Structure 1
Amino acid sequence: MNATIDKLKGNWNIVKGKLKQEYANLTDDDLTYTEGQEDELLGRIQRKTGKAKSEIKRFIDSL
């Protein structure tokens, strides 16, 4: 999870754009990032996309 958090903190605008490309149904509201609330963000993405958290983390880590 630490690699995922580091990606979110350091490159959020890039990660956000890539997530929107990969999962077109995500909105800016879905992708609102607040430091310290990474699990909440991943949960919102998971609910909206139907993907497992582990799959979302792997996608983010691969960027």
Structure 2
Amino acid sequence: MSSTTDKIKGNANEAIGKVKEGVGKATDNPRLEGEGDAQQVKGKVQQVKGDVKDAIKKGVDKT
């Protein structure tokens, strides 16, 4: 996967996670709230993965 793909998927997971968390809070559903929180973390990790790929590519391109 490219760094851009990782970042896009990360943003999508964060957005979906926020919605799930909000619906979980609104409906008093702790399981859904927890799933939303976990999905947001997954999205943040994917974005970091994309950033790392970018940094590695820039480092390789400089040599």
- Output the TM-score relative to the length of structure 1: 0.25
The higher radius of gyration belongs to: 2
Instruction: Considering fraction of residues, name the structure with more helix.
Output: 2
- Output the TM-score relative to the length of structure 2: 0.25
- Work out which structure has the larger RCO, using CA pairs closer than 8 Å and 6 or more positions apart in sequence: 2
